[in-house]
Structure 1
Amino acid sequence: MKKNVLITGTSTGVGFESALLFANKGYKVYATMRNLKKAEALKKRISEEKLNIELLPLDVTDIISIQSAVKTIIAKDGKIDVLVNNAGAGFAKTTEQATLEEIKWVTDVNYHGVVLCTQAVLPHMRKQKSGQIISITSVGGLVGQPFNELYCGAKFAVEGYMEALATYVGDAFNIKITNVEPGGIATEFMKSAIDKTVDNGQLASGEYLPIFERYLAANQKRAGESEVAVYQTGREVAEVVLKVAQDENPPLRIRTSKWAEDFCQLKTQADPDGTKLVNQIKNSFL
């Protein structure tokens, strides 16, 4: 039977490319995004390539929107085989200078949305005794970075949430859990992060200014000297997502490039894919 996949945040980048790759591999794809007015590029590819992709509105910060999308899929197909939690947004600003609204927003988009989407599909996966949840996190979910503490905090939360979930839903209900951890991605996601960083010029002032200038200079130097090594395309990351979905025994976590692997090595060298830790926790608690 053909598998279906629900992907969040498919208007651009990794989500867009994942929708195309999964469809070309024979999956029925439910490509979702907050604003369907941004679906023109995807609609064009669907028409040109005659892809089995259905577009649905889904705002990961709105529980009613999430539940409505899941209900639509279940009504049509009776099941959800794979959830790809892709929707997210970059954010770089000091804790002092972030507003309460910004703190809530970065947490809602990058963490709460993952929890709410997962919560919505779990009853159906549990009932069918099979399923897979793949969350696009980041190297920032393993390694904290300057001016990214709020974003990293949200991604750390996703990593912990999925790690804990993996300790029992796999054996009990045959639900597989994986965190996909890219480094830099040359997509609209990166542009969004930069826009949020320089918004209203707050960072370019005060005692943080010299630190921030060094941070920007280092980023620009790294991008200029090693763009190929550091920044992946959305397509390259999407290929890792598809590989994980096709794996009979997927890892708990996987980096998407050598740069990402090297960047996280101090955190991951004892247990690169997270399998040892999950087994240890299961043996300790279950």
Structure 2
Amino acid sequence: MTKNVLITGTSTGVGFESAVLFAQNGYKVYATMRNLNKADELKKRIEEENLNIELLPLDVTDIKSIQAAVNSVVEKDGKIDVLINNAGAGFAKTTEQSTVEEIKWVTEVNYHGVVYCTQVVLPFMRKQKSGQIINVTSVGGLVGQPFNELYCGAKFAVEGYMEALATYVSDAFNIKISNVEPGGIITEFMNSAVEKTITDGQLAKGEYLPIFNKYLSKIQKRTDESRVPLHQTGLQVAEVILTVAQNDNPPLRVRTSDWAENLCNLKTQADPDGKKIVNQVKEYFL
């Protein structure tokens, strides 16, 4: 039986590549995005390859929009086998120089949106006693990084939320949970985050400027000196997501590159895939 996958944030990057890749591998894909006017490239791929992809509007910050999309899938196919929480937004700016509106926005898009989508999908997976929730988080959900503290805070929240959820829904309802943790990705996501920092912030002046310049030069030096690419393509990350979806016993956590693995090593070496801590918590509390 064909598996249905609902993916958020598919207009570009990892979401776009995941939608195409899953369809190429026999899934029925419901590709969602906040603004369907940005779906032209995906529509082109669907037509060129005759892909089994249906486009739906979904704004992860709007619970009614999420409910409408999920209900549409269930009414048509009766189930959702896989939810991929991919939608997110980069943000690099100091806490001091961020507005209250920006703080709310980065948290809403990167954390609350994951919770909202999961909350809406969970009842259907619970009733069907099966399902998989895959979250595109970040190495920033494990390791805090300069000028990314608000983004990292939101991703840390996703990691903690999903770790806690996995301790009881997996065994009781056969709902598998995984966090896919990329490092740098060559997409508009990364470029817009850095550009926003430089042009929209106050980093062009003030006491943060020397630190920020050091931060940028270190990134450039690391990129120039590396013998292997530090940044992955959206397709490379999508391939990891597909591997997780096809795994009968998927990890709670998986980094998507050697660079990401090395950055997170101090946090992950005792429990690389996150399963030990989940099992320990279950022993303590359940």
Shift of 1:216: 1.1
The answer for unaligned runs of 5 or more in structure 2 is none
Q: Tell me if the contact between 1:135 and 1:178 (Cα under 8 Å) persists in the aligned partners.
A: yes
Indicate if the aligned counterparts of 1:24 and 1:51 stay in contact, CA closer than 8 A. yes
Distance across 1 between alignment mates of 2:98 and 2:9: 24
- Residue in 1 aligned with 2:106? 106
Paired positions, count? 286
Match of 1:276 in 2: 276
Aligned counterpart, 1:189 = 189
In structure 2, what is the equivalent of residue 53 of structure 1?
53
**d(CA) in 2 for partners of 1:268 and 1:107?**
24
- Whether contact under 8 Å (2:33, 2:58) holds in the other structure is yes
* Aligned partners of 1:204 and 1:212 also within 8 Å: no
Shift of 1:205: 1.2
Partner of 1:137: 137
The residue identity in structure 2 corresponding to 1:193 is A
Aligned-pair RMSD on alpha carbons? 0.9
- Among all aligned residue pairs of Structure 1 and Structure 2, give the percentage whose two residues are the same amino acid: 78
1:24 matched to 2:24 = yes
CA deviation string 1:205-264 (max 9, x = no partner): 111111111011111222333384310000000000000000000000000001100110
Q: What is the rounded CA distance, in whole Å, between the counterparts of 1:107 and 1:138 in structure 2? A: 14
Q: In 2 relative to 1, CA 187–227 (structure 1 residues): closer, same or farther, beyond 3 Å?
A: farther
Partner residue, 2:11 = 11
Q: Distance in 2 between matches of 1:209 and 1:216?
A: 11
The whole-number CA distance in structure 2 between the counterparts of 1:165 and 1:38 is 33
Moved over 4 A (4+): none
The amino acid across from 1:24 in the alignment is Q
2: distance between equivalents of 1:46 and 1:175? 30
Question: What are the equivalent positions in structure 2 for 1:45-194 lying under 5 Å apart?
Answer: 45-194=45-194
Aligned to 1:234: 234
Contact 2:166 2:278 in 1 (8 A): yes
Could you tell me how far apart the structure 2 residues matched to 1:69 and 1:226 are?
A: 43
* Aligned residue number for residue 218 of structure 1: 218
1:198 aligns with 2:198: yes
Report the equivalent of 1:264.
264
SS of residue paired to 1:231: coil
**Cα deviation per residue 1:116-154 (whole Å; 9 max; x = unaligned)?**
000010000000000000000000000000000000000
- The answer to whether the 8 Å contact 2:93/2:201 transfers is no
Q: Please, what TM-score do these two structures have when normalized by structure 2?
A: 0.98
Aligned partner letter, 1:12 = T
**Worse-matched range after superposition: 50-59 or 193-202:** 193-202
Amino acid at match of 1:282: K
Q: Secondary structure at the match of 2:229?
A: helix
